[in-house]
Structure formats: C-alpha cells, structure tokens
Structure 1
Amino acid sequence: MTDLPYPPTARASASRTLVRYAERAMVRSSDAGQIPGNSARLLVDGTQAFPAWLEAIAGARRWIHLENYIIRDDIAGRAFRDALAEKARSGLPVRVLYDWVGCWATSRAFWRPLREAGAEVRSFAPPRIADPLHFLRRDHRKVVAVDGEYASVAGMCIGDEWAGLPHEGIAAWRDTGVEFRGPAAAAIDRAFARTWRAAGPPLPPDEVPDPALVPPQGDVSVRVVEGEPGKSRIYRLMQFVAVGVEKRLWMTDPYFVLPPAMVEALASTARDGVDVRVLVPAYNNWPIVGGMSRAGYRPLLEAGVRLFEWEGPMIHAKTAVADGVWTRIGSTNMNLASLLGNWEIDVAVTDQSFAAEVESLFLADLESSVEIALRTSPVPGAEFRERRATERLVMTDAEDRRRPEVATAQKARAHSYRGTEVGRILGRLARAGTVLARALVGERLIGREDTGWVSALAVLLLLLSAAGIMAPRLLAWPLAAVLFWLAVAAIVRLASRGRPAG
C-alpha cells in the first residue's frame, strides 16, 4: 500500500482530527466527558473495599451518601449500619439508598437503628399499583460518597458473600472496585443525587458538590458513566471501545448474556486479530443466568474470542481493560437488563499505570481459571464433563485443571455459598430455552451439546400445552389477573395524571 499523497503536515493534521473524533464519539456515546486531576486506587474484593469504605465513613466531616443494590442483615451489613448510625448520631447528614428488590430479604427492623440515629434511609422503586412494571427498573449501583471529596464505585454489594467468613473457612467472592479523590469524586456524588431524587425529594443544595470547585488530587482522568433506564450509555461506549481497540481487550463479567450487537462487536474484533478474552464464573450464583451465558459461547469461540471460566466460589467483578490504557470498572453487567433497564454507574479510567494494575489482576484470575474450547477443537487430553449451571458445550484442557491455582480455587468453592439442585436444573433449561429461541429465529443451529436439554424443554412445553387444553383455567386465570392489574394501573394513572417515579 502506497503512502497517501499528502505532505507530513497534512497527515499530522488528519491524525489530530481523528483523535478529536474518537474523543467526541466517547463523549456522545457515554454522555460523559473526561474529568482530569484525580487519584485512583484499585480495590480488590470486599476484603479491601469494605475497610476502605468504613475508613472513609469514619473520617467524614460534612456528609455521607451510600447507595447499594444489596445491603444484607449479616456481619458485614451490620458493620456498615452501625458505622453510619454512629456518624448520624454525631449530627452528620447520612443518606442511605437501597434497592427494594435487592434488599427483599433485609427486614425493616434492620434499618430501624439507622433511622433512630437520624439517618435518612430510602427504598428505591417499591411496588406500586400505578407503576406495575416499574419494578423492572432497579437501582443496581454501588456507591460510597463522602464530603464531595471521596467516592468509590464497585461491583460488590454489602454482605458476607463479599467479605467472606474466614473463621468458617468461607472465602470472599472475587470482585473489583475503585476509589477516587478529586473532582471525579464530586461527579460520582452528583450521580448519587440524581438517583436519590428519583426515589423522593432532592438532596439539600449544599450536599450536591461542584466538580469544578474540587482541587486536583492526582493526574488520572476519569469518565463517570451514569446508567439510566433506556439510555444505554455504557452499552454504546463498550461497543465503541470494542470496535476501536488495536491489540487486546480483556473483560470480566459475572452475568454474561450479551445482546446480539455486542456479540458481533467482540466477534468482529477477534476476527481482526485482536486478543479478546472474557472471564466468567464457572459456577454462577444464579444458575439460570449461567445457563443462558453458556448458550452464547459458541459464536464467540468460533470468531476467536478466548473464554475462561473462573473455578473459585464466584467472580462478581464487572471490568474491562483495553490496550493497557483504558479501563472500565462499575456495576453494569453485560446483559440487556443491566445495559438498558437499570440505574447503573461505571467509571472509565484513562491511565496506563492503573490499566497495568487491572491487567495484572486479570492475568492472576486466569491462573485460577480453565480455558474453554469448542468440542470440535483438537485439544490434547480434553474430556467432556458436566458443570453446575449446565452441561459444558466445550472441552477443557486437563493440564488446566491440574494447576495448583485451579485446585486452590476449587477447594475454596467447595466451602462457599452454593446453589441447589433445583437451581442447576433450571439453569440447564434456561440454556436450552435460549438456544431454542435463537434457533427458531434463524440465528444459530442446535448443536450436539444442546440436543438433550432442548428435547427436554420441548417435552415440557408439550405437557404445558396439553394442560392448557385440558384445564384452560390454569392458564386463563393468571393471564386475567395480569390484565386486570394493568387495567387498574392505567385507570389510576389517568385519574392522577401523575408521572412515574424517577
């Protein structure tokens, strides 16, 4: 290929223009500009994040804002509740926002000491007759923001799963977060203000900091990407990064059920020779999601994407690192519910040193993982075996399973929070349903590895249809109840002429 017939100055100008195009595309896809002047510290697992968060809470001088999808009534949850209550009793404004669905198992009594201490506690999107489908839009964010000067974004909720129980030999789940000091902390705090407003009256103006007034604390640039229902900001940004990356893109995700557009973005990038690697849990705490995730392996593997399953208790991190420069950490999972339906928050960090840390962490996690290969691949010493959430559609290398790191991870998993046999069966059926749906719309063929469970699903559907024919009330009554609920909601909305929360 010959050089373009332009002088060096013209080519340099064109390069600068392309750089501006890339930055403009990132801003437009994420609705977030870069915020310079921050310090950033990687937080690995709840064993690092929880002490850092509690230290920030203890040192608060003006206010504390905490937002999390799950806050459990257990050892870890009570430690945070008691620390927040202590600061509230001292007269400091303390605001806690939890998700109603995420905290369904946390009793009202758990929050009473916080409220009695003077903290304001809100539940996000409890069920309402007038908003029957509002429960589909959850607040899945994980944020700790203090004084407008410190903020942390993470994948971990607050519970013993993330803290572990060392005295019982139960290892913590693998998860990742990051803490900031500087203007980005104020931007994250302002994001909290928006979800707080979606759940009720707004914050007092003096608790909504201005990032422009926060002095620099470092040289790290951060983009704070706020996920809101229907906005698809991190979805668009990840597609842009995936199609633009040059050398490598490494992702970790716990509930990996990619939309078709993201599948094609990763597949086309891998076909172009980029090192695309994805790390997911081998044993998912939601077996149904694990089954759906495995149903999507084949097109990625065929395109050259390398897939790894982590053999430890559960990997819950949501991260991506591109070309050793750009890093994403946050609460968004790579599935439609998270990308399009929930309130989420992620940070995109542009810094080589920080990206190098995340890449090192990713490689360390791979040491406790098994790489996946298609059944047709000539993998030496491979064999088929069944996994917890569903049957593997692949073979694994026997050498992988003999590594000491894998053995250690498997031993930790044996003493961790485990699912039930019912969950495992549902996971297999979920995978079969996903494969069948894609086959019926012509997206893929039903592979040999799926025939057994797709056949079982077909039989189950035949039995349900027969039951509907023989006893139509079994299907009619639930359908009538749902239609009645929707009709009442429409009447209530018309009568009040109100707008849905948020």
Structure 2
Amino acid sequence: MTRLLARLLRRSIPPALSHGNALDIHTDGDACFEALWADLDAAGQSIWMETYILDPDAIGLETLARLRAAAARGCEVILVYDAVGSGSLGERHLEALHAAGARVHAFNPLLRNPLRRAHAHDHGQAPRPWLFRDHRKLTLIDGRIGWLGGRNIGEHYAGERLGCPGAFRDTQVRVRGPAVADLAMAFQETLDELHAAQPPLPPTSPAAGTASVEVLRGNGLRDRRELQVRIRQAVLAARESVLITTPYPLLSRRLLRTLRRRVADGIEVRMLIPEHSDVYAVDLARTRLIRQLVRQGVRVYRYRRPMHTKTLVVDDAFALVGSFNLDIWGSAHNLEIGLAIHDTGAAARLAADFRADLTDALSDPPPPSPLPRRALEWLAQRALRIGLLHATRPGREGAGN
C-alpha cells in the first residue's frame, strides 16, 4: 500500500477498492480502436457499450458493423448513445444492428415520446432535464474486459493510419480483473436512468494483474459526486506534485481554492490544456480562469494540437482516467465515469505521458486580450455560471466540488 493510498483510505468516502487488475493504457488512437475492435470480434457472450459521441463516419460505422456481427453470432449487444452528442447518428445507421437483435437506446432525446414521459411519471420520475447528458465512454466485453476513458467513437478520436491525421490526443484504459464487475454496475445505473431492462451482472472476474483501482461515478441529476470528491481528496493528499490534463478547464470554485491552497503549501501544480478547444464559447469563458490560475502559482501549459485527455496524476503514485473533464458543467449535468488507479507503475506511465506532452506545449501565459474580447470573455463566463445556477437545485454551489 502506498502512503498516498493510506492517506486516502482515511478520507471521508470509503473507496470500493478492487485488487488484482491488469491495466493497458492507450494513447495512440489507431492502436486503441484496433485493440477495441479485436475485443469486439472475440466477444462470445455480451457487449455493453455506452458513449457520448458515436459518429456515422468510417470509425463509427466500422464499430457498428462489428457490433452487428457480434449480435448476429448470438452475443447480447446493448448500445447506449447520447442523443445530443450523437446527433448525427440516424435510424438508418442502426437498422442492421436492430435487425441482428441488439438493444439500442438513445439517452435523453430532446424530442420525447409523450407516452414515455407518462411512463416515467408512473414510476415517480420527473422528465429528464434536457441538459442531463450521458458523457460516459464505457465498453464491457463478456464481463471480463472493460474499456473507459475520454475517447468517443469517431474519426476525430482515431489517428493518421485510420484516416484522421488531426485527431485528438486522448487516453483510454483497458481493464481486466475484478474491477470489470464494478464497471458493469455503472452500466446498469445508466440503464436504470433509461428505465430499461437490466441484464444480470456478470460474475466477478479473477485477478489478472496487480493494480488496485476504484470505479468512480458522477451523476449530476442524482447529485452523485464520487469522482469530484476523490479528485479533491487526492489533491489534498499530495506531498509533491499534482498533474492535471483537461480540455475544458472550467473548474469549480472549490477545486480552485484547493489548488490555490496546495500551491501555497509548496506543492507543484501543473495543468495541461489545449491552446484552442473545439468549443469556442468555452475558450472565451476559460480565459479569465487561466489568468487567475497563473496568478495563483499554477503552471498552465497550452497544448498546440487537438487534445481531449482527462487525467489527474498525484505524486506519480495515484492517477485518475475517465470521461470527466474536471469541469463545472460535467458535475452539474452529466453521467460521468472514472477509474482511480492506486498503482505506481500506471501512475508513473501517465505522469511520463504528461511530461512528454509538455514538449509540444506553450508555457508562457496567454497574451492580454483586447478590450472587446475581454468583454466577451466576461459575458461567456457569466452566461455559463447563470446557466448552471438555473439548472441546479438551490443550495448547491453549481458544480462546486
């Protein structure tokens, strides 16, 4: 047991630690999809897949074809995709999958079926807010292999060999061992939000490696914040360094205060963000926050290529990988999932990836904005905060955690 893990075990939420897991970390998009497809092709019993974005491009259609083939050979195939994130995915793209016997669920469509809404009321459930999104990226194969991380299913998340030279830098983890059963419970939570029939949980897999991990969930609608709490706890437990990678650094006030406190304690805090994200409004809203972080002593680096990675590494001994951007929006509105890794080998690998990425990043602070842009930055940040306050229950600090 590492000293950091011992400190975390004394914190407020008892972790559901799973021992004896094998972890394969994938940062190359092409290799990641090829390995995932090989697992889909080898599936003999079940494939449960959950994703925010499933694009009907070459990568998405190839993935759907492999799911269809698995269903046709008798595998139980369940696909959940977010109706907003996968807005370009149409019924015509799913017909063959339906015909093969797969179950397909669109999560929280904007245009709701009135009969389904009445059905939700019958079960004491209010209609889902439109902003409640399934942001998880999770695949389970035969109850013995799990995939999770930040990578959606589409060409932008692959690489040059599979046809996308400008792909996102991202991180995915392949898990084998007892933790897969915990991932299956998270998938069942999503089906419960859909009021969908739940298949039985798979039996717990035997040990496959030496890593101890926690499967952590976030659910903005249910105020479930395991991920957010563990992130703060890990930062507070740091004795040397905190390395954060996020594409959308719209951190909560509470996490900002925690980082400021750790810098004052002499802890090295570094954050890697993209120079430009794929959401212009977020770029506007984050600019004032970045300057605030720099003034507080956080070393902020701007990655010069597209980046979608969401990782946290503490003292090169603890790491977290998942779908959560560490942002206030995901806390307030989304289903999220992450893997807390208590393994020095995996944590050191992720720390090495972070430091390697710094070689392609700008370390100087962003230049001052002209007055018209500063006004837009202020408006974007206020609009985001107002939207969060409007969408969350009274008494909550937006996404404060």
Query: TM-score, normalised to structure 2's length?
Result: 0.86
Cα 1:370–1:337 shift into 2, 3 Å: same
Which amino acid is 1:101 matched to?
V
Query: TM-score, normalised to structure 1's length?
Result: 0.69
Cα 1:366–1:19 shift into 2, 3 Å: closer
Structure 1 residue 26: deviation in Å?
Answer: 5.8
Q: Identify, as 1 or 2, the structure richer in strand.
A: 2
CA deviations 1:385-426 (Å, max 9, x no partner) are 8xxxxx499xxxxxxxxxxxxxxxxxxxxxxxxxxxxxxx9x
Match of 1:321 in 2: 313
Match of 1:333 in 2: 325
Q: Is the 8 A contact 1:231 1:340 kept in 2?
A: no
Structure 1 residue 200: deviation in Å?
Answer: 3.0
Structure 1 residue 370: deviation in Å?
Answer: 0.2
Number of matched pairs: 370
Q: Is the 8 A contact 1:250 1:320 kept in 2?
A: yes
Structure 1: gaps (5+ residues): 1-15, 375-383, 386-390, 394-424, 442-502
Cα 1:224–1:435 shift into 2, 3 Å: closer
Match of 1:23 in 2: 9
Structure 1 residue 169: deviation in Å?
Answer: 6.8
CA deviations 1:448-477 (Å, max 9, x no partner) are xxxxxxxxxxxxxxxxxxxxxxxxxxxxxx
Q: Is the 8 A contact 1:57 1:84 kept in 2?
A: yes
Instruction: Give the whole-Å Cα distance in 1 for the aligned partners of 2:159 and 2:174.
Output: 21
Q: Is the 8 A contact 2:8 2:233 kept in 1?
A: no
Match of 2:292 in 1: 299
Q: How does 1:152-163 map to 2 (within 5 A)?
A: 152-163=147-158
Q: How does 1:193-272 map to 2 (within 5 A)?
A: 193-205=188-200, 208-211=201-204, 214-229=205-220, 230-272=223-265
Which amino acid is 1:159 matched to?
G
Match of 1:343 among 327, 335, 349: 335
Q: How does 1:171-186 map to 2 (within 5 A)?
A: 171-186=166-181
Match of 1:275 among 268, 279, 292: 268
Match of 1:433 in 2: 379
Cα 1:163–1:435 shift into 2, 3 Å: closer
Q: Is the 8 A contact 1:85 1:117 kept in 2?
A: yes
Cα 1:280–1:48 shift into 2, 3 Å: same
Structure 1 residue 46: deviation in Å?
Answer: 2.2
Q: Is the 8 A contact 1:73 1:110 kept in 2?
A: yes
Which amino acid is 2:80 matched to?
L
Match of 1:43 among 26, 38, 45: 26
Match of 2:362 in 1: 370
Match of 2:141 among 133, 137, 146: 146
Structure 1 residue 25: deviation in Å?
Answer: 1.7
Match of 1:191 in 2: 186
Instruction: Give the whole-Å Cα distance in 2 for the aligned partners of 1:392 and 1:182.
Output: 53
Structure 1 residue 19: deviation in Å?
Answer: 7.4
Instruction: Give the whole-Å Cα distance in 1 for the aligned partners of 2:162 and 2:346.
Output: 33
Match of 1:473 in 2: none
Match of 1:72 in 2: 55
CA deviations 1:283-304 (Å, max 9, x no partner) are 1100111121122012211221
Q: Is the 8 A contact 1:306 1:372 kept in 2?
A: no
Structure 1 residue 22: deviation in Å?
Answer: 3.2
Structure 1 residue 254: deviation in Å?
Answer: 0.5
Which amino acid is 1:27 matched to?
I
Instruction: Give the whole-Å Cα distance in 1 for the aligned partners of 2:149 and 2:39.
Output: 15
Q: State which drifts further: 359-368 or 46-55.
A: 46-55
Structure 1 residue 318: deviation in Å?
Answer: 0.3
User: In terms of Rg, which structure is larger?
Assistant: 1
Q: Identify, as 1 or 2, the structure richer in helix.
A: 1
Structure 2: gaps (5+ residues): 118-125, 387-401
Cα 1:428–1:135 shift into 2, 3 Å: farther
Instruction: Give the whole-Å Cα distance in 1 for the aligned partners of 2:58 and 2:163.
Output: 13
Instruction: Give the whole-Å Cα distance in 2 for the aligned partners of 1:218 and 1:19.
Output: 18
Secondary structure of the residue aligned to 1:25 is coil
Structure 1 residue 27: deviation in Å?
Answer: 3.3
Q: Percent identity?
A: 29
Structure 1 residue 373: deviation in Å?
Answer: 3.0
Cα 1:108–1:244 shift into 2, 3 Å: same
Match of 1:33 in 2: 16
Q: Is the 8 A contact 1:331 1:345 kept in 2?
A: yes
Instruction: Give the whole-Å Cα distance in 2 for the aligned partners of 1:435 and 1:303.
Output: 19
